[in-house]
Amino acid sequence: MQQKLTKLAESIDGELYTDSTHLILYATDASAYREIPTAVCVPKSWDDVRKVITFASKERLPVIPRTAGTSLAGQVVGKGIVVDLSKNFRKILEINPEERWVVVQPGVVRDELNMELKKYGLFFSPETSTSNRCMIGGMVGNNSCGNRSVIYGSTRDHLIAVKAILSDGTEVEFKELTDEEFEAKCNGENVSSPLEVAIYQNIKRILSDKENQERIRRKFPKDSIIRRNTGYAIDLLLNTSPFTPGKAPFNFCKLIAGSEGTLAFITEIKLHLDPVLPPEIGLACLHFDNVDESLRANLIALKYKPSACELMDHYILECTKNNIEYRQHRFFVKGDPGAILVVEFARETREEIEQICANMIAELKEAGLGYHYPVIYGEDTAKIWHLRKAGLGLLSNMPGDPKAVPVIEDTAVDVEDLPEYIREFNEILKKYDLYSVHYAHAGSGELHLRPIINLKTVEGNRLFRTIAEEIAALVKKYRGSLSGEHGDGRLRGEFIRYMIGAKNYALLKEIKRTWDPNNIFNPGKIVDTPSMNTSLRFEELGDLHAEQLRRHHVPQLHGCP
């Protein structure tokens, strides 16, 4: 293999690394997983990428597309060739302010894109906490979203079109199609290869079947759940006009978003843009004695149409106390709250926001919810968001071996179900003497719940799996989504079959087989995922690289290596 890789390296303009330093650096993302890849490619052109795909196809070697590598579920961890686009594919290709869209390469950083779009009064609205480093390719791959998903939804909702390289090396464009255009593709017209015809015929066959339709509708997460990454989004494709008359036109982008690099290699991305928020922003920082109270208040707050409704619990607030940077941003915190709900209103004038907040606070008081209700305006609002965004990073850097681990950190349920769901969730944790941190996107039914576990112990490793299984059952009971934004990856892939049932899962496998017959694109994610407690960073290292890793003494990495 080494010889073949050397030949591949000679044939491309970019770099191909097989030295241990590169392999170790690319063995991780921001998750609990680690696997040593076979090689790391930093391509210079799409031609390089095509050569890698052709090589991988011939050698049956995985290709793992990677941008910033901030995934939390092991999406860019695996054996094979990791293809890093973060260096040479950072161009904004076209901006159309009148029609409000932009075309970018996958390696454009989300915040850098928005800095450029600011002069047009526009922005790409999904906003991850990692927005200053995560890249659009990865946001599409994971169907990412952020604080304002209550009004802006997720990346999928803004994906107009993508250009991509399929597993046979041919180029395609996926975009909205009329019913006639969709039929034409199924009949082999306007396609670039037999593989493209096959993927259209495959989806048509699956989604035209009445039994499949009924089962997909019954088993996928409730329609009311905005944040939904549960395998391939065939439930959303079913709701397009060839299969459900009167619905939106067919667009494969719905499936590509959240497909975690398992179906095609994306080369260009066309995104819908939103006008920047109205000039006046007010943040009502509602203080509660406990999380349960805050989640009931969340339902009242949502009636007033906020642009975000974000939770920080006592634990997160404690972490910020001891941090030199963040403790300055705690100016609005009074006493020792069990939870703070930050409710954002963006309107044309401050008077409007004052009126809305007065009404909301009156209703909360009447319901006996909360004890302190400051509303913050102007520059200070940035400090509050800064504090909220800091949560995950601070938790990742907890001193000592027990960490707030990402294992069930991304569940989403109908927002109305959230208080009851969290109550049951905490009962499960209590059985194991565990405590979980609660924070983030209460407004859209998703809290980042991270139990504190020591993964360096056998007991911790066992708990990692037990908790995942029990919480999967709970999420299923509420017909929620195991992943709201972080994706399935190595962590949740194993549970998709359980969540949507064996027959629906078989459809996802059929899709993967059709798109990628040699199973080269990021295998082991979405379908055929290995057990979630294998390839963990801290498990006993049994492979050939173990000695190498020990010699290099790899510290725990957080975010991009």
Ligand X SMILES: Cc1cc2nc3c(=O)[nH]c(=O)nc-3n(C[C@H](O)[C@H](O)[C@H](O)COP(=O)(O)OP(=O)(O)OC[C@H]3O[C@@H](n4cnc5c(N)ncnc54)[C@H](O)[C@@H]3O)c2cc1C
Nearest residue (CB) to ligand X, 85 versus 437: 85
| Closer residue to ligand X (CB): 196 or 260 | 260
CB of 546 to ligand X, least distance (A): 25
Residues that bind ligand X (CB under 6 A): 29-30, 64-72, 75-76, 85, 106, 128-130, 134-135, 137-139, 141-142, 144-146, 260-261, 265-266, 392-393, 485-486, 522, 559
Q: Do residues 77 and 535 make contact, with C-beta atoms less than 8 angstroms apart? A: yes
122 by Cβ neighbours in 10 Å (0-12 / 13-18 / 19+) ranks as buried
Are 233 and 204 a contacting pair, CB within 8 Å? no
CB of 440 to ligand X, least distance (A): 7
Let me know if 330 is exposed, middle or buried by CB neighbors in 10 A (0-12, 13-18, 19+): middle
**Smallest distance, ligand X to C-beta of residue 75, A:** 3
Listed residue (357, 362, 349) closest to 376, CA to CA: 357
Residue 286: strand, helix, or coil: strand
Nearest of 44, 42, 64, 37 to residue 53 by alpha carbon: 64
* CA neighbours closer than 13 Å in the CB half-sphere of residue 70: 24
* Cα gap 216→223, rounded to integer Å: 11
If 0-12 CB within 10 Å is exposed, 13-18 middle and 19+ buried, where does residue 553 land? exposed
Nearer to ligand X, 23 or 375 (CB): 23
Question: Which CB sits closer to ligand X, 64 or 291?
Answer: 64
- 335: region left, alpha or beta (phi > 0 left; psi from -120 to 50 alpha): left
Residue 213 or 518 having the CB closest to ligand X: 518
Q: What is the 3-state secondary structure (H, E, C) of 512-546?
A: HHHHCCCCCECCCCCCCCCCCCCCECCCCCCCCCH
Contact 167, 53 (CB under 8 A): yes
Shortest distance in whole angstroms from residue 522 CB to ligand X: 5
66 vs 287, which CB is nearer to ligand X? 66
Find the shortest distance in angstroms from Cβ 396 to ligand X.
6
323 versus 466: smaller Cβ distance to ligand X: 323
| Cβ atoms of 255 and 539 closer than 8 Å | no
Q: Shortest distance, CB of residue 118 to ligand X, whole angstroms? A: 20
Amino acid symbol at 502: A
Shortest reach from residue 277's CB to ligand X, in Å: 18
Cβ atoms of residues 372 and 335 within 8 Å = yes
d(CA 528, CA 166): 20
Task: Give 53 or 216: the residue with its C-beta nearer to ligand X.
Answer: 53
Buried b (16+ CB within 10 A) or exposed e, 180-193: eebeebbeeeebee
Would you say 360 or 482 has its CB closer to ligand X?
A: 482
Looking at beta carbons only, is 158 or 347 nearer to ligand X?
158
Q: In the bound complex, what is the minimum distance in angstroms from residue 71's beta carbon to ligand X? A: 3
Nearer to ligand X, 149 or 240 (CB): 149
Q: CB of 447: closest distance to ligand X in angstroms?
A: 12
Closest distance between ligand X and the C-beta of residue 468, in Å?
Answer: 18
269-to-93, 295, 350, 409 alpha-carbon distances in Å: 9, 37, 37, 28
**Smallest distance from the beta carbon of 229 to ligand X, in angstroms?**
9
Q: How far apart are CB 561 and ligand X at their closest, in Å?
A: 11
CB 163 within 8 A of CB 173: yes
* Cβ proximity to ligand X, 215 vs 509, nearer residue: 509
Of 179 and 274, the one with the shorter C-beta distance to ligand X is: 274
CA distance 290 to 440: 15
Q: Comparing C-alpha atoms, which of 404, 391, 403 is closest to residue 450?
A: 404
What's the token pair of residue 199?
A: 């993927």
